[in-house]
Amino acid sequence: MRKLPFLMLALLAAFVAMAVDNDNPATWRFPEKYTGPKTPTTDTTWHPDILKGYEARYVNQGEAFDGPCRCTIVRKLCGRDSHKAFLYVHGFNDYFFQSEMGQLFVDSGYNFYAVDLRRYGRSWEPWQWPFNVRDQKEYFKDIDAALEQIRRDGNTDITLGGHSTGGLTVALFGAIRGKDITVNRIVTDSPFLAWNFNPFMRKIAIPVVGFFGSVLKNTKIKQGHCDGYAYSLLKEYHGEWEYNTDWKMVYSPPVTMSWVRAISRAQGDVLRHKKDISVPILVMHSSRKIDGCNWTPAFQTGDAVLDPEQIQKRGVQLGHDRQVCTIDSGLHDLILSRPEVRRAAYDTIFAFIRRHL
């Protein structure tokens, strides 16, 4: 038993060694010590969004561990009498920019909404470390703000969707809220239900980092300097898409130990409360995992971020009314895959919604 504390300290030391070296010009330099005023954003009226045809508004979410925070609700109404709505929650190193997705829902008779979570995209404040979180349930308040707006707009049939960490968050939302959830169904696109690591990392190293993440909350762990996934998305390289790379970065910034802890706890909570998900849930994932760091043509044919096999194993355990579906050759974000692949993902989503009206 004496070996266990030594092992934990050794593993911690290994991860701390990966922490950001501020003298290395290749590392990220976000303001740790913001010296300007931390002014909260008061709720405002709707204003034209950065995406043409959309509108947005900020929601003041009060004080968080790093100061005032906000979320941003984005919407595009279908222009006809509809009481159906879809709410989209983005993933890590991400924000809502998929205007094609919103347009498809609007064309299909749905009012479309998205939320940029606190510390992401439109909601990111200069004093905040990007994408940081200490408890995944922090995002429930952002989701609730969007759902309140959706209901205020007269929608009574609501689908809650999420991608990657957003997929983990909406699954957790369903698991924790149980019968008190106020949506009709949940849709997930490559949800982050499990770490894409070998068994040693998943079962030993990550729990150790999570344990120390409650104390060394702001210690940074560098991500791999990999471009394969971003190059498969961006139009200037090999993809179809244009987006703000200051908000959805080519190279993911370091994450904090508390972020690792928050993800691990959320994954565990989803499994512990999996049968409490009271609404139908769709889990979609790619047909193959892509290994590697720098772009090759293979990056256009599978998930370069998570392991679809792990998503499948955990997805089939969720709720009582579930559908787990493989999208052949899908990218990590299935709706950013090549046209015929994302069409299959959309067809799956709309068929699932119609089946559970």
**Predicted local distance difference test score (pLDDT) of residue 24:** 43
Q: Which residues pair with 188 in a beta bridge?
A: 162, 283
β-strands 84-89, 157-163 pairing: parallel
Domain assignment of residue 36, yes or no: no
CA 157 to chain centre: 23
Residue 171: in which H helix or E strand, if any? helix 165-177
Domain assignment of residue 314, yes or no: yes
CATH number of the domain bearing residue 322: 3.40.50.1820
**Predicted local distance difference test score (pLDDT) of residue 222:** 86
Q: What is the pLDDT of residues 29-74, one digit of tens each?
A: 565 678 889 998 887 899 999 999 999 999 999 999 999 999 999 9
Q: In degrees rounded to 5, what are phi and psi of residue 147?
A: -65, -35
Residue pair 136/169 in contact by the 8 Å Cβ criterion: yes
Domain assignment of residue 20, yes or no: no
Domain assignment of residue 245, yes or no: yes
Domain assignment of residue 3, yes or no: no
Q: How many domains does the chain have?
A: 1
Domain range for 305 is 46-355
d(CA 147, CA 138): 15
- If one compares 9 and 223, the residue with the highest pLDDT of the two is 223
Instruction: Flag whether pLDDT at 23 surpasses 50.
Output: no
Amino acid type, 307: D
**Predicted local distance difference test score (pLDDT) of residue 32:** 60
Domain assignment of residue 335, yes or no: yes
Domain assignment of residue 279, yes or no: yes
Domain assignment of residue 33, yes or no: no
- C-alpha distance from residue 172 to each of 96, 264, 268, 271 (Å): 20, 12, 10, 9
